Amino acid sequence: MGTLEFIATVLGYIVWPGVVVVLAILFRSQFEGLFERLIRLKHKDTEIEFKERLKKVEATVIESRASPPPPPEITLDDLADVSPRAAILEAWISVEEVLADYLRSVGLDPKLSYQGLRRLPQEFQEDLSPILTPYQELRVIRNKAVHASDTDLSPEVARRFIQSAQKVRGVLLDIAVQ
């Protein structure tokens, strides 16, 4: 093979891809419209039908938007099995929410700290006296849970915390009703 033949062969390999790239750039806008209208593409044994598959996907997406599946019902006890720490935090949040509602209803700051609760006027302290000590103990346990990992806490500890939190929450609800 001579030098001229070699150059001709190399140019043959280089020119065709270059021509294709130049044509693609020149006719770019026509190609964009072509892909939108493309229904079927067939090459040897492979065949792709674009529009029908796209319609199926769109119909599926529309159906799934129309009726999303209901979220699974998870209780705090179920959560305690998966993440004791999360169960403790969720139980604590429910206590805080009820306490904040009570404080709001009597015209007090709903974000009072434990020390703030201890310093309330006598009329409010009497109402809250049944829960102040359990509230403080739950708060301490919650604080420790925040800094612990799930492996440091057992589901049983979380369940006991949940039960205690529900009792404190119940007393708070009773106080709020009075």
- Number of structural domains (the chain) is 2
Whether residue 105 sits in one domain with residue 48:
no
23 belongs to a structural domain? yes
Whether residue 102 sits in one domain with residue 154:
yes
Q: For 149-177, how does the pLDDT look when each residue is reduced to its tens digit (9 = 90+)?
A: 878 889 999 999 999 999 999 988 888 77
Q: For 30-79, how does the pLDDT look when each residue is reduced to its tens digit (9 = 90+)?
A: 766 665 566 666 777 776 666 666 677 777 766 555 566 677 788 999 99
Q: Both tokens of residue 176?
A: 């709020």
71 belongs to a structural domain? no
Whether residue 61 sits in one domain with residue 83:
no
38 belongs to a structural domain? yes
Q: Is the pLDDT of residue 92 over 90?
A: yes
Whether residue 100 sits in one domain with residue 62:
no
Whether residue 119 sits in one domain with residue 46:
no
Mean pLDDT throughout 140-149?
90
Whether residue 87 sits in one domain with residue 38:
no
Closest CA to 132 of 112, 146, 147, 148: 112
Residues 6+ apart with CB under 8 A from 100: 110, 111
Q: Which residue segment(s) compose the domain that 55 sits in?
A: 3-66
What is the model's pTM? 0.57
